[in-house]
Chain A
Amino acid sequence: MNKEIFSEIPMRTWNWLGVNEAVVDRDLLVESQNLDIKIEAGHQEKMLVEYRKESCGTVNINIGENAVLKLTQLQLMPQNCNHVNEINVVLEKKAKLQLVAVETGAKSFASKVNIILKGDKSQADVSLLYFGDGDRSLDMNYVLEFQGRKTVGNLEVYGGLMGESQKIFRGTLDFKQGAKQAKGYEKENVVVLSSGVRNRSVPIMLSGEDDVVGNHAVSSGKINEDKLHYLMSRGLSPAEARKLVLEAAFNPVLELIDDEALRQEIDSYIKERLENE
């Protein structure tokens, strides 16, 4: 089958780690659904993008000066499908983006997000939730590029992995020369629920500017046993206790989804997966 490089990290590393690029079936890319959006200066918008049957989608957004966009992207593809999605955003001066992304579907998916903080004082807050189970394959590549002065970028990632799922998350904070007083923050918390999981994380920080503050942190581990024991001592079954702890772990992202029905749908989906494990 024809393969194509869908995304690459901005700076390559050892090939044996297998994280330099995401390779996908070329056929997937042919059927791409594209969306080009311009948020006019000073406007405030909310957008919801849902993937339920599309194999490939690209969203290109320009957010004008002082404009604000809240973009929620939910990938709820059936478990037997492959999928790729892409978001490209350019933020002008003082523009703001809140991106809430949920990746819980598809047998195998690759997503890439490129956010360019072009204008001075522009800001992007990105919250991502991913969940992998069975033999699913999850591949994500997020890049926040700081070009303007006093720009702010936050990337918070919450993940859960079980079964024999395999995941790669690459998150890059790229401070370009001239991005003075930019601030970037990235964190990824992964809860691992099964021994068959393979979990790869690549938190990259690139800087050509000294007058910046950049931080990143990754933590990966199983559910805290003390929390589980406490909940089980209150009468919850092991499965119920795990569900509750995982819900709490995902809550920072779930609570950002405005639509109660969608929030419930994702919550139910994860619960069902936990019960079936």
Chain B
Amino acid sequence: MAQEKTYIEDIERTLYDIKNVDKSKYKSQSGLTEDIIRDISARKNDPDWMLEFRLKSLEVYNQLSLPNWGPDLSELNMDEIVTYVQPDAKMTGSWDEVPEDIKDTFDRLGIPEAEQTSLAGVGAQYDSEVVYHSIQEDLVKQGVIYTDMETALHEHEEIVRDHFMKLVPPKDHKFAALHGAVWSGGSFVYVPEGVHVEIPLQSYFRLNAAGAGQFEHTLIIVEKNASLHFIEGCSAPKYNVTNLHAGCVELFVNDGARLRYSTIENWSRNMMNLNTKRAVVGKDGVIEWVSGSFGSHVSMLYPCSVLKGENAKCEFTGVTFASKGQNLDTGASVIHCAPHTSANISTRTISKAGGKATYRSAVKVTKNAPYAKCSVNCESLMLDDISRSDTLPTMDIEGDEADIGHEATIGRISDEAIFYLMSRGISEDEARSMIVRGFVEPIAKELPLEYAVEMNNLVNIELEGTMG
């Protein structure tokens, strides 16, 4: 039966859209030049090798072209992007010392409250710098390090030097090179051998300045037989100029270790989100990704897991919700490099109101990975006929001992399901909402309760834009 639909504009994403007056202490000039990079490096008091690294990355950036696949990035003009915005705040371990307007922002986002109730440590970045960092004392006593990247670069220089952009080298792609040149802020986590961090750590990244870029670097090392749950959140108010996020996440999961990396990404609709995330997993290690992509104008995000040690495992659970004006190109990649490695990728994508959701994945099984197993499942839901949903998985398998399966479906909410729920006294709108919440439930259940609630709220915000 044909379904008539009307559309209304999305409701305001008030919580995320409140802007603070730009009180930055310093802003670099817009654009990307050697002088700007030298200036950023000097202000950060980088060691010489880091300045050299930044300058080499700039060279690579200038040599590389934009990708010839994926969403159109022609709107991005680097000459108009301010790559470094220093907030008028010093990094502190007390919220009382954070300037009022910045503290209010994180209050509204619920970060201090979550810190009290459900987190073992918090990092809060505002524009280009981390303004707050804390970690529970008992973790410090066990040797856990959780600090901002700049502090780590000075206090744990050798560890940083051994790992920084080793998993995601600047030559990887143009925006990795850009990141290498202008990175600022981000988190450093080190979990010593055998230590289990029972309560999650969270870093939250807030970009307030219009026309700016955020280039935080997250480096996590989980030593042998240790474990960690790390949560990353990000948001920005909406401006009518393009903002850019080109962060980089490098995760080192050593033998027998386990790392869960959860993200709820809710950038504003003027954001180009060109983020790179990669994990390498040792023998018997486990990487678990939980990824929710709701915001941004354009996203290209494909967390990659390199299963390097025998019996290493990857679990990827992702949901992407693309609405009006959004082109969200998301997915995952897994590279099996050792025997008996296994991966399970499960994603849900939803598109509505002219939004475009693309699921893109790559599964590579090398000759060195006999008995590799990989299962990929992708389900796409379209809520109207002006949106797009595309699925583009690739499997590249060498050898005869791998067991690989892929399944994907695409479609809309069935009229039968709506009618069934309506026959039980539920309104049509609520029936649709229930079905969509059920659709993303496999992802929601992987999140800590308060983040599952946030994700459901985001889904509800999106759905309020559609009247069935």
Contact = CB atoms under 8 A, between A and B. Distances in A.
- Decide whether A and B assemble into one complex: yes
Interface residues of B, number: 42
Contacts of A12: 68-70
Contacts of B360: 13
Given A12-B69, A211-B412, A195 B399 contact: yes
Contacts of A213: 409-411
Interface string A176-188: 0110100000000
B398 interface: yes
Contacts of B69: 11-15, 20
A17 B404 contact: no
Contact of B400 (A195, A204, A214): A195
A229 interface: no
Contacts, number: 137
B397 A17 contact: no
A272 interface: no
A229 to B, nearest CB: 17
Interface string B379-401: 01011111111111111111111
A216 interface: yes
Contact of B394 (A201, A212, A215): A201
Given A199-B397, A202-B394, A207 B380 contact: yes
Nearest to B358: A11
A217 B395 CA distance: 12
Given A177-B385, A194-B400, A218 B392 contact: no
Interface stretch (A86-94, A121-129, A219-227): A219-227
Contacts of B404: 218-221
Nearest to B409: A215
Main secondary structure on A side of the interface with B: strand
B403 interface: yes
Interface string A127-171: 000000000000000000000000000000000000000000000
A214 B378 CA distance: 12
State which size class the interface on A falls in.
35 or more
Nearest to A222: B400
B402 interface: yes
Nearest to A16: B362
A19 interface: yes
Contacts of B2: 180
A12 B329 CA distance: 12
Contacts of B394: 13-14, 17, 19, 200-202
A195 B401 contact: yes
A198 interface: yes
Q: Which 10 A-B pairs have the closest CB atoms?
A: A210-B382, A12-B69, A214-B410, A210-B412, A218-B406, A192-B400, A205-B391, A220-B404, A221-B403, A199-B397
18 contacts: A15-B68, A17-B396, A180-B2, A180-B385, A197-B399, A199-B396, A200-B396, A203-B406, A207-B410, A208-B388, A209-B385, A210-B412, A211-B412, A212-B412, A214-B410, A219-B404, A219-B405, A221-B404
Interface of A: 11-15, 17, 19-20, 175, 177-178, 180, 192-195, 197-222
Interface of B: 2, 68-70, 333, 360, 362, 364, 367, 370, 380, 382-412
